[in-house]
Structure 1
């Protein structure tokens, strides 16, 4: 979607340039500054040092960033020999002082550095952005994973549920925030301004996002919700330009049709399970007449799995027909149901990542639909098939425990029957 961003972009550029230059006249390099920050106990001088380091980092090129992360990884690593010595001493004495020394030595120095870097205003966003660089550089330098463990540990503590703020986003939100919703939408691309308005403005549409006080203008994750008088089986219908809006009091179902993570630097830190449950509870309070809280979700690995099943003697011909776009809807639904309930990885968990997410969140696999997503992405990943996951607030804890502890998949009777249903199409040699 094209919007006039000239003035905001100019202001952002000027602001970033000011932050990057500041009053940095310190002759020390960034590694020396980090060592100085580790040695600094004063909060005021420490904050100034942190500001200089973060500003200096923003001016580094990729080679310099790699060198910086290697410094964190190696020079600020755990002293394993000293740790072993302290552990041996504590094992013998069980003394409080020895425990304190052991606890301090068990954390890498870079963890203390990252905490001290997080002192200035805006530093949390800087560190999230820094981790984006780290994750990118780790692809060719996997040994940097030691440093990423410390980044992830601290970010999980800084972004725990107690600090997250749930906000509803509507059409009257600031333009800068609406731009971010467009940019971060990861499931169903927003085509233009009219498409965005259709998702945020009508009375039967909702959008909720988690924010963090340290990054108040940056959504962490958001979910788009459609209020409906039935459980929909097509995202094309949900996003249709010509549909008639529904009054909220007429709705019987709240449909979570898109959930998007916004911050790449927070990869591996899950907010989605918290967001859906919190939004589900809020909608249940706001609209107590709702009878169903469901998703309309993609099946992203279906076509990949179908390709691996082409030689299957029982349904290889169905897999081929689905991939060619010639299979009847009944067969698409039956094989998709079989995939969701039976396709498992080496760990025993479902192959499909969206299934793992919702089932692990306590949802129930409820129904499967053919010809539900006609977009290029929908056709490419699942031949247009989609699935509903049902969030029954009275059952989600039990379902979560059954899935997490016993690998049991909660599924409706109808979906279980569909997964065992005979296929309509026969192998070509039998059909002839």
Structure 2
């Protein structure tokens, strides 16, 4: 753990020992919120924040929706005040006018969320609160701005300076290992022995990002296989009976599973930071590692075949060509790749390196991609350039093999 993380952990540990007035304040929650926003006393503020969070956690689903509707409507900005403050600043761009504009341009609910976060361990509670909000916002557009407020604050609270990268191994605390099993989103871990095969052998690694205020909750984790050469199937990596490779003989690091753990942090990107940090750490430890590559699912491929009426021609021989065409030709309306995993890795600066048929024989793999998987190559010398080209105009970096495969198919460009 870094020095900064140690310091932060010490601070949060001290805060966790704070005591609160536990006497129930039975006023309506709107009054507690108004009191908290206007309060300047630290102890009083923490007591109010603690009671509001407790009250929220005890709410039923209907009451939670009402709570969010109140924040969205009653604690929104006042457009009249914003226009007046902006006009005053345009007339006289003084410090005081700028401060006035900043004050009225920020909705009161942002200050509420900040003050709720005074309570020790409140960050995790607020992440869970946003998870509830996202569920309601799917069918209620009036909550969208409120979600942007949460997302704005979380982007600051969960920036790279506060994240701690920790290796996960068989000696890690049991409750952390249980979280890895629970949150695995790509290739299900169905037993403790399956988890052990993924993290104990010398040619396996697992890394996770944590936040000092949520030390028992991984934010995102990646599972890595150290191999000789680039594997073409997940069966090779997850086989129960296999020869363990001595780590010093490995030349390739394969990122075969990346799982986001906190639904309430949707839209807060950690994956790019995680991969770059792990690449830096592994390349510094194992000097023979020269290749950093994924073995990734293609979750939208089967649906795309159906939409394009290509299911009948998607024979085993043609699947790789069709998959290549899908990855580099199928686009969303904004011009970005249709496939979400492709968007993620290409946005990080990787290139589409290869596709493999019969690479995932699981029910999930057959259902979402007819068993086809992809390698995205993190070629360090070209990573930044690829990222810039993709960010600017969605230019997709691909190997010559992928380009040739895509051109060989009769798939209609989409």
2:134 matched to 1:135?
yes
Q: How does 1:377-396 map to 2 (within 5 A)?
A: 377-396=364-383
> Does the CA contact (< 8 Å) of 1:24 and 1:52 recur in 2?
no
2:342 matched to 1:355?
yes
Q: 1:22, CA displacement in angstroms? A: 8.1
2:302 matched to 1:303?
yes
Distance 1:156 1:140 in 2: 24
* 2:241 alignment counterpart: 242
Distance 2:23 2:229 in 1: 61
Q: 1:139, CA displacement in angstroms? A: 2.2
Distance 1:374 1:228 in 2: 21
Q: 1:142, CA displacement in angstroms? A: 2.0
2:270 matched to 1:271?
yes
Distance 2:289 2:139 in 1: 50
Q: Match of 1:395, SS? A: helix
Q: Match of 1:91, SS? A: helix
* 2:104 alignment counterpart: 105
Q: 1:422, CA displacement in angstroms? A: 5.8
Q: How does 1:391-430 map to 2 (within 5 A)?
A: 391-421=378-408
Distance 1:197 1:246 in 2: 16
Q: How does 1:18-167 map to 2 (within 5 A)?
A: 23-167=22-166
CA-based RMSD: 1.5
Distance 2:139 2:345 in 1: 32
Structure 1 stretches of 4+ with a deviation exceeding 4 A read none
Q: 1:352, CA displacement in angstroms? A: 0.6
2:330 matched to 1:343?
yes
Distance 1:83 1:248 in 2: 60
2:325 matched to 1:320?
no
Residues 360-405 of structure 1 show CA distances to partners (whole Å, capped at 9, x for unaligned) of: 1000110000000000010001000000000012211000001111
Distance 1:122 1:260 in 2: 23
Distance 1:70 1:403 in 2: 38
Q: 1:321, CA displacement in angstroms? A: 4.2
Larger radius of gyration: 1
* 1:201 alignment counterpart: 200
* 2:351 alignment counterpart: 364
* 1:227 alignment counterpart: 226
Q: Match of 1:224, SS? A: strand
Distance 1:38 1:191 in 2: 47
Between 339-348 and 353-362, report the one with greater CA deviation. 339-348
Change (3 A) 1:229 1:159: same
Q: Report how many aligned residue pairs link the two structures.
A: 392
Q: 1:140, CA displacement in angstroms? A: 2.7
Please report the TM-score for the alignment, with normalisation by the length of structure 1: 0.89
Q: Match of 2:223, SS? A: strand
Unaligned runs of 5+ in 1: 1-20, 311-315, 424-432
Unaligned runs of 5+ in 2: 1-19
Distance 1:140 1:352 in 2: 24
